[in-house]
Copies of this chain bind each other. A is one copy, B any other.
Amino acid sequence: MLLCDIGNTTYHFFDGIEHYKKDAKLFDPSSIKEEIFYICVNKQAKELIKPLKNWIDLSTYVDMRNYYETMGIDRVTSCEAIEDGVIVDAGSAVTIDVVKSGRFEGGFIYPGSKAMNECYRNISDALAYSFNFELDLGKMPKNSRDAISYGYLKLLRNEVVSYGMDIYLTGGDAAEFAKIFPYSHIDETLLFKGMKNIMKKANIC
């Protein structure tokens, strides 16, 4: 059984043993001939997949009553993966979602590191620094690079840690963000666990 999480930049596959990614711009979904279950937030990819009968959209099997209408299916699926905890999915956006006793309690959206870097750069050339993920967040900064790194990272870390829950870290930038969440569970396949749980609940596996 093949699973696929289609984002804006990649198709992320899981074959039950290994996971691997393909560039969303280059990959042709019709090259897959076997049955494949997917979620997708990528508009272009949605159009390509629509006519393909072996691609099965898992979003239609989710009980959306616990979520909200415009919530991304990737966030919903991550929430389905855990019973209790806070999920930090660090990609082009960083989404933070809280699940208690298997129920979505709410969440928020923070810019991803690339977008936030551009944001600071657009304000002023003087703020065009990469973030320092190794920064000591216990100290007030006294230089420009640390001043923007603290603004971006300390505020996020404190909010997430304040929930006092297990932290599940996933997404393309998970390894970078692990530096500010040292006690988190890093799980690149969290979304696939959510997909499997959706399939179990819907009795399709």
Contact = CB atoms under 8 A, between A and B. Distances in A.
Interface stretch (A19-27, A54-62, A139-147, A185-193): A139-147
A178 interface: no
Contact of A109 (B108, B115, B127, B156): B127
Nearest to A126: B70
B70 A108 contact: no
User: Most chain-B CB neighbours within 10 Å: which of A105, A107, A123, A126?
Assistant: A123
B155 A110 contact: yes
A106 B154 contact: no
Contact of A123 (B92, B98, B122): B92
Contacts of A150: 108
Interface string A99-133: 00000011111111001101110111011000000
A143 B111 CA distance: 16
Interface of A: 8, 68, 70-72, 92-93, 96, 98, 105-112, 115-116, 118-120, 122-124, 126-127, 139-144, 146-148, 150-151, 154-156, 158-159, 162
